[in-house]
Amino acid sequence: MTPERLAKIRAVLDKRQPDLTVLMERVHKPHNFSAILRSCDAVGVLQAHAIPARYGIPDLEEAESLALKGKTFNETSGSAAKWVGLQIHPDTASAFAHLKSQGFQVLAAHFSERAMDYRQADYTRPTCILLGTEKWGVSPEAAELSDAHVIIPMMGMVQSLNVSVAAAVILFEAQRQRLQAGLYDQPRLSSEHYAEVLEHWIIRHARGQ
């Protein structure tokens, strides 16, 4: 590895936000899945979460490994999937249990009576943005479990945005708030965690994955 490459990897890791993430609840179109990971990479998400669209995947580790290698989700992400961790959860309840145990507020991109403008949420707190499946959106179960619902104000005839576009719009609002709050100014990972991820990334790079 060249010194320049190592410096680039470190510069990116310096900005990774362990307390900003997304949960993709059965997003099933590969180009959406990949575009969301690409936006995650761009705003510094360390690790994303997903509930697979298809039930009964026999081996969750295999699904995760495929996703990490960009082999199932490679249409638009380029190499983003390599640099954003992906944790797979078997169902909505266990995904929420995990996120809550980590102290995340979950903000569902979901229209409801209790929905607020996405710009009113505080993304400097540990935050997970929940994105639902393309056709049906967030499940009723996930909507119920979420701490708040956020919507993007729509001024036009069309009622909704593509899920990857909505994800990007919300993630870049989070980036805006976090830039203002100085959360990209110094490394956010503990030195132990930082060293672990760095080693992982260096090995991945060396393998040419």
Binding site for a copy of itself (CB under 8 A): 8-9, 12, 15, 31, 35, 38-44, 76-80, 82-84, 119, 152-158, 161-162, 164-165, 168-169, 172, 175-176, 179, 184
The nearest distance, CB 48 to a copy of itself, in angstroms, is 12
Nearer to a copy of itself, 161 or 198 (CB): 161
The nearest distance, CB 78 to a copy of itself, in angstroms, is 5
Residues β-bridged to residue 86: 48
The nearest distance, CB 81 to a copy of itself, in angstroms, is 10
Q: CB within 8 A of 40, min separation 6: which ones?
A: 21, 22, 48, 80, 84, 171
Nearer to a copy of itself, 83 or 123 (CB): 83
Nearer to a copy of itself, 15 or 100 (CB): 15
The nearest distance, CB 195 to a copy of itself, in angstroms, is 18
Give the E-state strand segments of the chain in sequence order: 20-25, 47-51, 85-88, 105-109, 115-117, 127-131, 148-151
Nearer to a copy of itself, 21 or 77 (CB): 77
Radius of gyration of the chain (CA): 17
Nearer to a copy of itself, 78 or 140 (CB): 78
Quote the CA–CA distance of 2 and 205 in Å, as a whole number: 11
Quote the CA–CA distance of 127 and 12 in Å, as a whole number: 20
The nearest distance, CB 55 to a copy of itself, in angstroms, is 26
Q: CB within 8 A of 157, min separation 6: which ones?
A: none
